[in-house]
Amino acid sequence: MSAGAKSPDFSTIVERPKQGATREQLSMLYTRYHLASRYVLGKDVLEVGCGTGIGLGLLAARAASVVGGDIEEENSRIARETYCGGPRITIRQLDAESLSFPDLSFDLVILFEALYYLARPDRFFLEARRVLRPGGVLLISTVNCKWTGFNPSPFSTGYFEVRDLAEALSRQGFDVSILVGFPDDAGGVIRACVGVIRRIAVRLHLIPMTMRGKEWLKRLFYGRLTPIPRQLTEGMSIRRTCGAIG
Q: pLDDT digit string (tens) for 66-104? A: 999 999 999 999 999 999 877 899 999 999 999 999 999
Kindly report the pTM of this predicted structure: 0.83
What does the pLDDT read at residue 199?
58
Q: Which of 145-149, 193-197, 240-244 has the lowest mean pLDDT?
A: 240-244
Cβ burial 50-75 (10 Å sphere, 16+ → b, else e): bbbbbbbbbbbebbebbbbbbbbeeb
What does the pLDDT read at residue 49?
98
Contact between 32 and 242 (Cβ < 8 Å): no
Q: pLDDT digit string (tens) for 9-53? A: 888 888 899 998 888 889 999 999 999 999 999 999 999 999 999
- 115 pLDDT above the threshold of 70: yes
CATH fit for domain 10-185+224-244, picks 3.40.50.720, 3.40.50.150, 3.20.19.10, 3.30.70.120: 3.40.50.150
Contact between 2 and 119 (Cβ < 8 Å): yes
Percent of residues, the chain, with pLDDT higher than 70: 76
- Phi, psi at residue 133, to the nearest 5°? -80, 165
Q: Which of 21-30, 54-63, 213-222 has the lowest mean pLDDT?
A: 213-222
- Amino acid at the residue 171: R
| Best mean pLDDT range from 3-7, 48-52, 154-158, 227-231 | 48-52
CB atoms within 10 A of CB 3: 13
* Selection from 63, 37, 7 nearest residue 233 by Cα: 37
* Rounded Cα gap, residues 13 and 61, in angstroms: 27
What does the pLDDT read at residue 205?
58
Average pLDDT of the chain to the nearest whole number: 85
Domain boundaries, the chain: 10-185+224-244
Which one is predicted more confidently, 237 or 12?
Answer: 12
* Rounded Cα gap, residues 164 and 111, in angstroms: 17
What does the pLDDT read at residue 4?
47
SS3 letters across the chain: CCCCCCCCCHHHCCCCCCCEECHHHHHHHHHHHHHHHCCCCCCEEEEECCCCCCCHHHHHCCCCEEEEEECCHHHHHHHHHHHCCCCCEEEEECECCECCCCCCCEEEEEEECCHHHCCCHHHHHHHHHHHEEEEEEEEEECCCCCCCCCCCCCCCCCCCCHHHHHHHHHHCCCCCCCEECCCCCCCCHHHHHHHHHHHHHHHCCCCCCCHHHHHHHHHHHHCCCEECCCCCCCCCCCCCCCEECC
